[in-house]
Amino acid sequence: MKQRVSYLKKVEPENYWPSFADVMSTMVLIMLFLVLIVFIKNIIISINLDEQEATNIATGAQLEATRNDLAAKELALQETQLDLETKQTILIMLEEELAAKEISLSLLENELAAKQAALELSEEEATNLQNLILILAEQQAALEAQKKELLELIALNTIELDSMREQLQKVAVLQVDIFEKVKKSIDDALGPGQVTIGDNGNLMITESILFDQGKSDLKPSSLNLIKKLADAFEEVLKDSGENIEAIMIEGHASSEGDFDLNQKLSTDRANAVLLELFKKNGKLQTQYARYFGAVGYSNSRLLIKNDYLESQKAKNRRIEFSIVVREENIGQIIQEYLDSIDKKK
């Protein structure tokens, strides 16, 4: 009998290492690609922030130029007032001259009466005296006419100057009137103390009402105030939009902390208020967005210079609303006045 011999086949174990290495290499490449995308995105965000800061600085410079131009035009108004005072002085001198000539005329008349009573004047002497009286009478009439003309001119100039002053005053107090309306609307809805009007005429909100310390996200409790502000600004722009150039939202910080960090924080807070205004009232964005701007001033515009106390620092940490009045309205008022003077000349 043949012996059956069985042979066992030797089985080699499978090697998975090459496939695992390929998978790990692919994952490393994907991670590197994602890191590169995040790095590029951060560069783009940094460029956009730099552009926004440059825009804010340019807006501040434009506002300062507008204030300087208004001061120059107020100086021109003062020069016009000085000219009017000079004319009034001339009128007083003419009145004094007229009074002196009236006295001379009275003396001559008395002299004529005395001579007529004392002696019989020759016809020639009487004629000369009468001619002299006529000449003096004509001079008196001319002075009276000149006085009347000057009085009419001064009266007319006074009326026009008062009208011009009234119009300029209306433009000058426009910002205060607008913010008084906004403040009254907020006080009526939320109670007093939410907003105040500063010495510079700007509307101010203490930052603690809107933000937590060191943050630029609005508190949920402040959203109702922002809503009332948005509605109030819509009504203001409906009524007085033709006289308004811009409504600027300004972020301010105290002297505490680094200037650069405060600059970024104050700018972010101003932008947060602006965006929330648009969110609470869509008409501000769709119809009136051109009026609004936001800017941060860090601690460069302190209300209290040496804010050692915490209560003083709190006053410096604020959001302000300022209104820029249209420059052409002021220029038009002054130009109309100057044109009226030229026509009379």
Tell me, what CATH number does 149's domain have?
Answer: 1.10.287
Residues 321 and 242 in one domain: yes
Parallel, antiparallel, or unpaired: how do β-strands 196-197 and 292-296 relate? unpaired
Q: Among residues of the chain, what percentage have pLDDT more than 70?
A: 82
Has residue 239 been placed in a domain? yes
Has residue 112 been placed in a domain? yes
Residues 143 and 190 in one domain: no
Residues 156 and 303 in one domain: no
Model-level pTM greater than 0.85?
no
Name the domain boundary from 117, 140, 172: 172
Residue 122 has pLDDT above 80, yes or no: no
Residue 345 has pLDDT above 60, yes or no: no
Of 60-69, 256-265, 290-299, the least confident: 60-69
Name the domain boundary from 172, 207, 233: 172
Q: Where are the alpha helices (DSSP H) in the chain?
A: 17-118, 123-172, 174-190, 207-210, 223-240, 259-280, 282-286, 310-316, 327-344
133 vs 54: which has the higher pLDDT: 133
Name the domain boundary from 172, 195, 210: 172
Q: Is 15 helix (H, G, I), strand (E, B) or coil?
A: coil
Residues 117 and 218 in one domain: no
Domain that holds residue 115: 69-172
Residues 183 and 329 in one domain: yes
Please give the average per-residue pLDDT across 114-136, as a whole number. Answer: 78
Residues 326 and 199 in one domain: yes
Please give the average per-residue pLDDT across 219-223, as a whole number. Answer: 93
Residues 184 and 284 in one domain: yes
Contact of 190 with 223, CB cutoff 8 Å: no
Residues 247 and 105 in one domain: no
DSSP string, 174-231: HHHHHHHHHHHHHHHHH-TTS-EE-TTS-EEEEHHHHB-TT--SBPGGGHHHHHHHHH
How does the average pLDDT of the chain come out, rounded? 82
CA dihedral 11, 12, 13, 18 (to 10 degrees): -150
Has residue 290 been placed in a domain? yes
Query: What is the tens place of the pLDDT at every residue in 226-236?
Result: 999 999 999 98
The pLDDT value recorded for residue 300 is 93
Has residue 326 been placed in a domain? yes
Q: Domain with 222 in it: what CATH number?
A: 3.30.1330.60
Has residue 198 been placed in a domain? yes
Residues 313 and 192 in one domain: yes
Has residue 193 been placed in a domain? yes
Has residue 35 been placed in a domain? no
Please give the average per-residue pLDDT across 114-130, as a whole number. Answer: 75
Has residue 99 been placed in a domain? yes
Q: Tell me how many domains the chain contains.
A: 2
Residues 159 and 232 in one domain: no
Residues 244 and 288 in one domain: yes
Residues 217 and 327 in one domain: yes
